[in-house]
């Protein structure tokens, strides 16, 4: 017993990770992104954005755990992992039309440049430029709240992860 009787336990406050849009454009439900795997939620809950420009920024602060010209994985403090996948089937371009700005192992701040993408060239190759933002480890990271559809700017919150 403590000085004032029974000890009380206090739950630690939930960790909250705000995930911001990596691009300016129009947010749509992940189910409407056009990629069957993302649309079915197989890569985790999230949102899709149809970009207005090719500047792609980090959606969270953390460590870059995966860096490819078309896709970036970032582990935020607290363990939430966020995947930014630029376009659908863009892996087939072999990095063409993408200027990668980060590397695996790098610490990055939310809003810092990940890549510059020539959206017109990607579209001319017959590929979608839609950007998917998902939390692959949502089961371990916590509940994911998804913002509604509509216009977004790079840096505006599109997902909230609560652990």
pLDDT-based confidence at residue 14 (cuts at 50, 70, 90): low
- The alpha carbon of residue 58 and the mean position of all alpha carbons in its chain are separated, in whole angstroms, by 8
Cβ-contact 60, 110 below 8 angstroms? yes
pLDDT of residue 1: 45
Residues 6 or more apart whose CB falls under 8 angstroms from that of 144 comprise 44, 45, 46, 135, 138, 159, 160, 161
**Range 140-159 average pLDDT:** 94
- 129 falls within a domain: yes
What's the pLDDT at 141? Answer: 82
Q: What is the DSSP letter of 144?
A: E
Query: Distance between CA atoms of 60 and 74, rounded to whole angstroms?
Result: 7
Asked whether residue 15 is domain-assigned, the answer is no
C-alpha 76: how far from chain center = 11
**Residue-range definition of the domain harbouring residue 91:** 35-162
Count: domains in the chain = 1
Report the CATH number at residue 99.
2.70.70.10
Is 10 a residue whose pLDDT tops 50? no
Domain for residue 21, yes or no?
no
pLDDT for 13 equals 55
Asked if pLDDT for residue 90 goes beyond 50, the answer is: yes
Burial category of 4 from C-beta neighbours within 10 Å (exposed 0-12, middle 13-18, buried 19 and up)? exposed
Is 133 a domain residue?
yes
Exposure on the CB side of residue 88, measured as CA atoms within 13 A = 17
Q: Does residue 14 lie in a domain region? A: no
Q: Which of 70, 85, 97, 103 is catalytic?
A: 85
Q: Is this model's pTM higher than 0.85 or not? A: yes
As given in the structure block, the two tokens for residue 66 are 């995966």
Per-residue pLDDT reduced to its tens digit, 99-135:
999 999 999 999 999 999 999 999 999 999 999 999 9
Q: Both tokens of residue 32?
A: 């409407």
85 is catalytic: yes
Instruction: Tell me whether residue 61 is in a domain.
Output: yes
Q: Give domain status of residue 22, yes or no.
A: no
pLDDT of residue 142: 81
């Amino acid at each position: 017993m403590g000085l004032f009787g029974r000890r009380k336990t206090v739950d630690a406050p939930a960790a909250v990770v705000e995930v911001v849009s990596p691009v300016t454009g129009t947010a749509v439900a992940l189910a409407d992104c056009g990629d069957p795997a993302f649309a079915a939620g197989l890569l985790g809950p999230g949102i899709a954005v149809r970009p207005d420009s090719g500047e792609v920024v980090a959606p969270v602060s953390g460590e870059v755990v995966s860096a490819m010209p078309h896709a970036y994985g970032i582990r935020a403090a607290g363990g939430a992992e966020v995947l930014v996948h630029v376009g659908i089937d863009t892996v087939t371009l072999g990095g063409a039309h993408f200027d990668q700005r980060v590397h695996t192992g790098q610490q990055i701040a939310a809003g810092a440049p990940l890549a510059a993408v020539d959206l017109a060239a990607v579209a001319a190759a017959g590929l979608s430029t839609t950007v998917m933002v998902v939390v692959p480890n949502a089961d371990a990271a916590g509940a994911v709240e998804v913002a509604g559809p509509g216009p977004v700017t790079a840096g505006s919150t599109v997902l909230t992860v609560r652990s």
